[in-house]
Structure 1
Amino acid sequence: MGLSQQALANALGISLCGEQSYERGIRKLPADVRIELAKLYNIDPLWVMGGPERAADR
């Protein structure tokens, strides 16, 4: 799913500036945005929270 930054921000209900801050690591993703990101990409929310190692620890 090749979304532009603006399209991703829109899908997550956040501003473009917010999306860019998360992408650059300036701000941490809040839990609600992580959950929406997991839903959008149909992936395990634990993977979004901590990468594949955390998801595998279940």
Structure 2
Amino acid sequence: GGSPVLVTAAALFIVAGIAWLVLGPDDAPPEEPATTVVPETPDPTPPRVAEPVAP
């Protein structure tokens, strides 16, 4: 027999994986970005460019 802790962890992992596969796509509608994810957020401050200073 195996360790009950490993068996329980494996069972919970499998159940969680199945639940994620079944419930995941339903919670997130296709072709619609999540509101929490904001790709390419513009930086309010422009990047500083090193320019040579004339003496």
- Shorter chain as normaliser: what TM range? under 0.3
Structure with more contact order per residue of length (Cα contacts < 8 Å, sep ≥ 6): 1
Give TM-score, length-normalised by structure 1: 0.22
Report which of the two structures shows the higher radius of gyration computed on alpha carbons. Answer: 2
